[in-house]
Structures are given as structure tokens and as C-alpha cells.
Amino acid sequence: MRNSLVLDKNYLSYWLRQIRQKMSLIAPIRVGNLGVVLKTVENIHEIELNCPASIPSAKEFLFPQKEDMFRLSEGTVDILRNDTKRLIFGVRSCDISAIALLDRFFGENFVDDYYMSRRVNTIFISIVCNNPEPTCFCLGLGTGPFLKSNFDIQLTDIGDRYIVETYSKKGSDLIKDYYYLFSKPKKSDYETQYEILLSSQASFEKRINLENARQKILIERISDPFWDWIGRRCFECGGCVYECPLCTCFNVLDRVKSEGSGTRFRIWDACMFKGFTKIAGNIWPAEKKGTRIKQWYFHKLLYYPDHFGKFGCVGCGRCTITCPGHIDMATIVYKIDIGDKRRR
């Protein structure tokens, strides 16, 4: 159930300080000239409130880059599982939408315990983007700049106050204990919120239509030379995959201390890497760079909608920022949609 309240900005740090006594608090913090990253907060005043989506995405708190799976020592197996209670504050709508999709992916058929044990112990407070970045294109995908459902708590900055919306039970429980900080919104608050949402929607620079690109791929069949041409600009750095909040491929490795003891861990892997599909006996399905890029885009543009009914992209624009070859989602979709002479 969606519920709206109002929180005075002066109370925010008090509220977060109170919550931090119960669980660890993670929020966007500016680190030197690296930009904004999600980190465990030491000083509440360091939190960046008006920042773009962090790089890397919030997925690393649910599906870390390197995660120990179990420890083996003298024949006994310790299953490692992280269940610290966490509040992740200040993530953006795109990340919340991505996590809603990850919940479905990791929760279907075989349930991924590692993801789930982290997920049930994590609460998100998202902030509506009043000023989307030039790289953002969540508007066309319905994953931002604000959310209507599937969030825990959502804040909208309306000047000196926040409109606090709760959707999940986890979210409303977090508010319940601090009810004295919140007040009921006035009619004018709703009006201001509505204006802000409209102006935010209007200020998107990128208008990317993934559905058009999907239709073109399905109907016109983009030829392989197009992907090979894109492949020539790929550095195989894997940046797009690592930054993408919806990429979930991993590799499983063992770190052996001595014989019969050590840790098995999983680590992010990327379909952009050359050896990703190579199997023993020298069979190599996706050897060519173009094939791998095609697989990535087809996964996000075709297979995700087929399976989940949603695109495997939330329009966060992280690949646009990261890709050194400028062959990110927005560019490729634009090329497919608008047309490129090399496409056919």
C-alpha cells in the first residue's frame, strides 16, 4: 500500500542516526575525484543527497563482486551467508527497478540463497531524481525518475521537506518507530511534488525507445556484420557488464589454503570476455567479439522481455559513462532505431 508522509529536512540526519543504531547504513558518498560511490556511512553529513546514480550500482550489496560461498576445512563444510541488516539510503529509482527484476531472476526455479539472505535483510530508501543526468534514459522504460510501486521508501525533495512514500511492509515498519518525525502532507505539498515530477520528466535529454529497437531486431533482423562493426570498437573491458545493475553472470573458483581446506567463492564474470563460453575440446561458441556483443544486447532487448516482460535495461546510463568505445546501450539502440548505413 502506498502511503505518503512529510519529513522536514532537518530531521533527516536524526532519523538516519536513529536507524543506524539498529542496522548498518550505506549511502552515496563522494570519494575524492572518483565520483560518488555507495559506502558504509561514518559521518551522516557526508551523504550526497543530490547526486546522480552511483557508480558502481547497488547490485554489489546483494550480489557482491566477490562472494564467499562456503569454507572447507578438514572435511567439514561451513556455508557462508551474509545476513547483516542494512539500510541502503539514497539509491535511485533505476536501481530499485533493477533490484525488483533481480529478485525475480534469483528467486525463480532454483532459489539463490546467497542473494536472498542478503536481500531479505536489506531495506532501500530511494530518492526521486529531480535533475536527471544527461546520460539517463529511464523515462522511456518506466523505471524512473520516480516509482509508483515495488519500493520500500521513496523520498521526493520538495524544497525544505521530503515527501516520504512507503510501499512495502519493510518500509512502513521503518517509519512506524519514528512516527513523531513525520507529519501528514498538505494539499500544497502534493502539488509541489507533482510539479517536481513533471519538471523532472521534462528535463530528460535522451529519448531512447528500446521497444522500437526490439521490433526492428525482430522484424528486420540486424545482420551479423553490424555487430562485427560494433565489435571493432569494443575493448573487451567488461565495464558495461560490471556496471550494469542487471548483469548477473558469475564464475565459481576455489581458493585453496592447504589440501582439503580453503574457500569456494563466486566472482562476477562477463559475457564480453573472450573465454566466457569456451569449453574443453576447443569448442568455442562465441569466439568473435561481435557475437558476444550481439548476445549481450539480445539478452537485454529480446530475452528479458520474453521471460520477464521487462527490458533488461533500466536506463541508468552507467554503460554510457563507462564504455570507452562509445558502444553503450543508448548508442546502439539509437543506431538500430534511427538507422545506420552499415546496419544492412
Partner 1 sequence: MKTKIKGIYIPSKAEIVEILDMTPVIKLFKIKPKRQFRYKPGQFVMVSLWGVGEVPISITSTHGLHEYIELCIRRVGHVTSATNLLKPSAKIGIRGPFGNTFPMKNARGKDVLFVAGGLGIVPLRPLITSIINEKNNFKRIALIYGSCNPTEILFKDDINIWQKKGMHITLTVERKDKGWKGNIGLVTEYLKRPKLSFRNAYAFICGPPIMIKATSNGLSLIGMHEDNIFTTLEAHMKCGVGKCGHCYVDGKYICTDGPIFSYAEIKKHSLFD
Nearer of residues 295 and 322 to partner 1, judged by Cβ: 295
User: Which of the stretches 67-75, 131-139, 167-175, 213-221 binds partner 1 when contact is defined by CB under 8 A?
Assistant: 67-75
User: Which of the stretches 34-42, 102-110, 144-152, 195-203 binds partner 1 when contact is defined by CB under 8 A?
Assistant: 102-110
Which of 256, 287, 326, 342 binds partner 1 (CB under 8 A)? It is 256
The nearest distance, CB 33 to partner 1, in angstroms, is: 33
Instruction: Tell me: does residue 146 bind partner 1 (CB under 8 A).
Output: no
The nearest distance, CB 91 to partner 1, in angstroms, is: 23
Q: What is the DSSP letter of 203?
A: T
Nearer of residues 260 and 339 to partner 1, judged by Cβ: 260
The amino acid occupying position 119 is R
Helices and strands in the chain: count of H runs, count of E runs:
12, 12
The nearest distance, CB 57 to partner 1, in angstroms, is: 17
Instruction: Tell me: does residue 77 bind partner 1 (CB under 8 A).
Output: yes
Shortest CA distance to 162 belongs to which of 183, 142, 147, 139? 183
| DSSP per residue, 55-116 | SS-GGGGTS-SEEEEEEEETTEEEEP-----EEEEEEEHHHHHHHHHHHHHHHSSS--HHHH
What part of residues 271-310 is at the interface with partner 1 (CB under 8 A)? 271, 276-281, 283, 285, 291, 295, 298-299, 302-303, 306-307
In whole angstroms, give the CA distance from residue 41 to residue 167. 25
The nearest distance, CB 149 to partner 1, in angstroms, is: 24
Nearer of residues 34 and 283 to partner 1, judged by Cβ: 283
Nearer of residues 11 and 105 to partner 1, judged by Cβ: 105
Nearer of residues 291 and 320 to partner 1, judged by Cβ: 291
Radius of gyration of the chain (CA): 22
Nearest-5° Cα angle at 271, 114 to 299: 85
The amino acid occupying position 248 is T
Nearer of residues 77 and 338 to partner 1, judged by Cβ: 77
Q: What is the DSSP letter of 179?
A: G
Q: What does residue 67 show for φ and ψ, rounded to 5 degrees? A: -130, 125
Task: Give the H/E segment covering residue 120.
Answer: helix 113-120
Write out the three cell numbers for 327: 558502444
The nearest distance, CB 304 to partner 1, in angstroms, is: 9
Shortest CA distance to 56 belongs to which of 25, 24, 86, 95? 95
Which of 72, 197, 217, 237 binds partner 1 (CB under 8 A)? It is 72
Point out which residues bind partner 1 (CB under 8 A): 69-70, 72, 77, 79, 105-106, 109-114, 248-254, 256, 259-260, 262, 266, 269, 271, 276-281, 283, 285, 291, 295, 298-299, 302-303, 306-307
